[in-house]
Structure 1
């Protein structure tokens, strides 16, 4: 299962006529240009999708060529280029925990929101439009289950995930990053979303005690994003945590899976324009372009991961709306870290380690005992 399935299943919508419709107004003078822009992406089907359905329409509408560069993560290269005093990229996608550090280091240029149209400004909430970044992807880690295992009245939240009598079967959780299973455990134990962070030692103790209850039922601790969905399809899991984009791709292909939004943890990645990049003006035009509602819909269909522009719902197939995080009904059930939560995670402890490091150390110790 790959993001390519979303591209294939949405071929009719992402046709030449659709692209022509949503890009008709993009040839305005303020977005027209020349030359090129160098943009980071993750490679594979992700890059294949946005190259075809975002980059190519951008070039057709504006006259600006896109040169894409690929890596697993942008942050190491961005820092190295900044330190070397030679920035070869124009646009990078960075994680929300990395944003404060890069902003303070002067790595990022302010976003030129004067280039944006009204539909983008109204569709993207102000908290997602930062001074030097704008949300690119809202990704969720959520409960997903096999409908063949629970054809009626399947699990509806993390408390149900822990209820092995009512919902029997092999389970999966992320084994590499500890804070998410800890949050799921706390929610299963009745902790409200607003009280999850910070993960102080008493909350870690409570979470690990709750995880003790379920540990023997975890048949595999998955570590790669594609694992849990494939194991569900193979019936090696009945229910598991999984990424929403992976689940969406499988559902679009017809897999008998159900996505549960209650208690999903949301993560953010940001579009950024790099200070000192060779084509900063073109970079700003790309950021304005990709956040237009029609192109936001094309991005979602091409990659499986939605950005924050709620107006893209006007362009997406009706059957897709219940499956994505920007649907208001889904968003209301999710949990996101605040800026204060991120700051706490990055804060140093007396031993010089961050709180984030401490949480992970507690997790790894629990896993190996």
Structure 2
């Protein structure tokens, strides 16, 4: 995921104008950064990002890359910029968060002279954000619970009679709303705009068979201990579960939802333009392939998709045979409708 911005400036003719530019663009004038601080969501992600991206970048440039796993929420990023107390150079955010932060004016524009737009899947290279990896929401299920016929579509997910048992969606709506829309008949390429009232009503038809998961570890545990039989969940965790459970948990890309892991650069970031150098380094196919091997997420660079080893292609959401089965998230729709969707869904959960 990546969104980055760069404030360009022209060389001034006179000393006065030059001084004004230095004041306006402090990161342009100072010495090259010796370290970058990257904000992520913690856990194993930091170890994998270090191995795939940070360590090679440091070896090549001498610039250290440090990680803060506190979680770069929309509110934190905005507050840092508004208060001119920015600690982070790069932040790992959802696509809709990148759009909202860009609209709020707190993100730098990506320097597409350093970062190559053509090295990112077309929908995921924005003015203020760029995808560093991809992932999908998919249907995962307990294979032993459905020995005759497994659930392979969102219509099946909502069919309580044929496929009994509890099922879970993410508390924060993304994936679950698209599943409801496709179950109601929306083609994969016509999911948006989602009718929020209809999506919430569709989810409500699951009654007490519906629950929500809060984190990857949460949904993993529920599937393993039998608390649920199905889930709309991240494909990387589903693939990991399938491997460690010896096939007890199975999953499919059919009617999945492809999403970008976006990188953004807050304005006034301490490392200045070095953030874009790191972004460019993260575009390298060999580095993205390593992240797929370590973490199970997909690449954002089409060249990495093409070079994906045969053994990893079944878990890569960007492979043509997998991509054609999926919808692609509209980060713009979610940016405009997230708050309304959250209120409607939370209200429904409280009444169930």
- 1:197 aligns to 2:196 (yes or no): no
Q: CA deviation at 1:153?
A: 4.1
- Once the two structures are superposed, the pairs formed by residues 101-112 of structure 1 within 5 Å of their partners are 101-112=100-111
1:307-342 Cα deviation digits (max 9, x unpaired): 311322455442221122112222222223435523
Are positions 1:361 and 2:323 aligned together? no
Query: What does residue range 122-271 of structure 1 map to in structure 2 within 5 Å?
Result: 122-151=118-147, 153-168=149-164, 170-174=165-169, 176-178=171-173, 180-200=175-195, 204=197, 206-218=198-210, 220-256=211-247, 257-271=249-263
**Pairing 1:92–2:94 present:** no
What's the offset of the Cα at 1:216?
3.9
**C-alpha contact (below 8 Å) 2:100/2:335 kept by paired residues:** no
SS of structure 1 residue aligned to 2:206 = helix
2:324 alignment partner in structure 1: 332
Q: Displacement, 1:217? A: 3.3
Give unmatched runs, 5+ long, in structure 2: 1-31
Give the conservation status (yes or no) of the 8 Å contact 1:123–1:293: no
Pick which of 187-196 and 154-163 moved more. Answer: 187-196
1: distance between equivalents of 2:312 and 2:148? 22
User: For residues 120-145 of structure 1, what are the alpha-carbon distances to aligned partners after superposition, in whole Å with 9 as ceiling and x for unaligned?
Assistant: 65542233222222112323222101
Structure 1 pair 191–129 and aligned structure 2 pair: CA distance change class (3 A)? closer
Paired residues, number: 319
8 Å contact kept, 1:178–1:364: no
For normalisation by structure 1, the TM-score amounts to 0.76
Q: Give the CA deviation at 1:259.
A: 1.8
Quick check: 1:158–1:263 contact (8 Å CA) kept in 2? yes
CA distance in 1, matches of 2:172, 2:72: 16
* TM-superposed deviation, 1:82: 1.1
* Aligned partners of 1:34 and 1:62 also within 8 Å: no
Provide, for residues 234-259 of structure 1, a one-character-per-residue CA deviation record: whole Å limited to 9, x for no partner.
23333222221211222343541222
> 2:296, 2:315 within 8 Å by CA — same for their partners in 1?
no
What CA deviation, in whole Å up to 9, does each residue of 1:194-234 have, x standing for no partner?
Answer: 4433344xx62x4445444432434x433333222222222
Question: Which deviates further from its counterpart, 104-113 or 129-138?
Answer: 104-113
RMSD: 2.7
Q: Map of 1:51-130 to 2, 5 A cutoff?
A: 51-116=50-115, 122-130=118-126
Alpha carbons of structure 1 residues 228 and 43: separation in structure 2 relative to 1, 3 Å: closer
* Per-residue deviation, 1:101: 3.5
Give 1:298's aligned residue. 290
In structure 1, distance between residues paired with 2:40 and 2:231:
28
User: How far is the alpha carbon of 1:113 from its aligned partner?
Assistant: 2.9
Change (3 A) 1:115 1:181: closer
Secondary structure in 1 aligned to 2:311? coil
SS of the aligned residue for 1:265 comes to strand
Moved more, 282-291 or 107-116: 107-116
Most deviating of 336-345 and 47-56: 336-345
User: In structure 1, the residue corresponding to 2:145 is in which secondary structure?
Assistant: coil
Any gaps of 5 or more consecutive residues in structure 1?
1-32, 346-355
